[in-house]
Structure 1
């Protein structure tokens, strides 16, 4: 459960994570979405806004940035977490729906009617969906038309880099109290974030193109938590290779997987295998005799929900 304590919109925000049985309920990426929402609000021009209008924009900025993750409330209780989380709530189709909802809430709670509220919320939801798309866990961009998850893996799931940028700006926020000065600082944050994203895109594109030139027909990427390093997974015929590419560091293949041919249509009849096949860009299948093992090579079988063993019929 996330608990907020606020004095003024955007001035003092405290997030508390409650735990169950010693395990964290919240996720770091959820908190990064919250950071993005605060940064969206901070970057807005607010010199012409009264207090109610500021609260309306703060609510729209932060709320829209986290609302797609409302599905975590029912995904935790379901057996099929992969398909329950980042599904319809993360679809491009829902962007104007969520934005319209926050415009309506601003009117109901604050009696504020401003078309900029819709576009602020629109930006918050879209940023959430796109940022989830950029990490290895992906999202259901085209729900409900297809349940397939889309991921490009160029940004890590954990937002440490963005938090480092925010931490660097905090002292200046404490030093400069003027509205215009703070707005500029939040825009500096977005400028730094854009530079980081651009670097990740360029690095990933270089590795992707290099692997394609080597004849691999499928390529997946998983970025490190910090800039300059990534893991790649490339499929050619019945082989999947896992490798590393570090800017100015070690590069090359670190592991290989052999794919055993199986009946994919038969695998789709098993709910767990079907979810994994829809979730992963491609999978490794291994014939274990009495069972078929299917796993997402990006996690090398280290994550239990991304590796399933299916008894042979």
Structure 2
């Protein structure tokens, strides 16, 4: 998910906690924990500073998003609370743990995916059933804060209801995505999903041999063919990988790629992010 959504997740976790008996310092520790733990897996962005081998695409949302690292992140946030706020409330550890798990797990559902099982598996787990920016989350959380604005003592109840609605939205989207996957799986060798910004709509990216076909589909709209792309599967990519290490990283990271070899450019791109004739995940060299 995007940074704003993760921040909203943190604020909604903070809002769902009953803080009537807390002093100001403890409240600050809870706010810091909720937001800090909701953001900390994305601290891997600093790895760009020392990436000299084109591996950032694999590092980002890699080990920092592993489910096995979540208790260590929670412990780190808890220790910071002890140092910064001089509080040893053990509930802060569990709040941080929940926040990190929500971050890592929510990122599974968009097309970017995460290294959820690292270091035991380098498979990039991605479902593609929730867009990277999901405005439904924003509406649900914003609605909970709006409805509780006059009586803040009711805010925990409204935010807990919001979490139930968020969970139901994710489940509903994922069930639809699974059904579309099964629908197309009978006709194509490889399939990937990319959820649209409008709920219930999906792009279904399919591949048969060298042909990639991108469809738009949804439960309230007819199936529509958007693009048919030919991939140069016979192209030799060794020179590309040597000259552009990021290309090899992208090749290993994506479910499948489109290969371009037109005499002017040799490159690959991820068709899940293909819009208006190009993908923003495109690595190439000029001839």
TM-score category, normalised to shorter length: 0.7 to 0.9
Is 1:148–1:278's contact at 8 Å kept on the other side of the alignment? no
Match of 1:225 among 173, 197, 200: 197
| 1:61-100 matched pairs, under 5 angstroms | 61-75=34-48, 80=54, 81-100=56-75
Gaps in structure 1 of 5+ consecutive residues: 1-27
More displaced 10-residue stretch of structure 1: 164-173 or 265-274: 265-274
* In structure 2, C-alpha distance between the alignment counterparts of 1:222 and 1:298, rounded to whole Å: 6
Is 2:145–2:159's contact at 8 Å kept on the other side of the alignment? no
Is 1:154–1:201's contact at 8 Å kept on the other side of the alignment? yes
Change (3 A) 1:66 1:308: same
1:14 counterpart residue number: none
* In structure 2, C-alpha distance between the alignment counterparts of 1:188 and 1:250, rounded to whole Å: 33
Instruction: Give yes or no for the alignment of 1:105 onto 2:80.
Output: yes
Give the superposed CA RMSD.
2.5
Match of 1:275 among 242, 249, 273: 249
Give the Å deviation of 1:197: 0.8
Q: Deviating runs (4+, > 6 A) in structure 1?
A: none
Give the Å deviation of 1:308: 2.3
1:213 counterpart residue number: 186
Other structure's SS at 1:151 match: coil
* In structure 2, C-alpha distance between the alignment counterparts of 1:183 and 1:222, rounded to whole Å: 33
* In structure 1, C-alpha distance between the alignment counterparts of 2:136 and 2:49, rounded to whole Å: 27
1:295 counterpart residue number: 269
Give the Å deviation of 1:234: 1.2
2:126 counterpart residue number: 151
Gaps in structure 2 of 5+ consecutive residues: none
1:54 counterpart residue number: 27
* In structure 2, C-alpha distance between the alignment counterparts of 1:34 and 1:159, rounded to whole Å: 13
Give CA-to-partner distance per residue, 1:42-87, whole Å, 9 cap, x none.
1124345443333222221111001112222443785744234323
1:141 counterpart residue number: 116
Is 1:86–1:140's contact at 8 Å kept on the other side of the alignment? yes
Give CA-to-partner distance per residue, 1:217-241, whole Å, 9 cap, x none.
3211111112121111012222221
- Report how many residues are paired: 281
2:164 counterpart residue number: 191
Is 1:61–1:121's contact at 8 Å kept on the other side of the alignment? yes
Other structure's SS at 2:228 match: strand
Is 2:247–2:267's contact at 8 Å kept on the other side of the alignment? no
* In structure 2, C-alpha distance between the alignment counterparts of 1:29 and 1:217, rounded to whole Å: 31
Give the Å deviation of 1:289: 3.3
Other structure's SS at 2:271 match: coil
Give the Å deviation of 1:167: 2.5
Instruction: Give yes or no for the alignment of 1:234 onto 2:209.
Output: no
Q: Which has the higher contact order (CA 8 A, sep 6+)?
A: 2
1:12 counterpart residue number: none
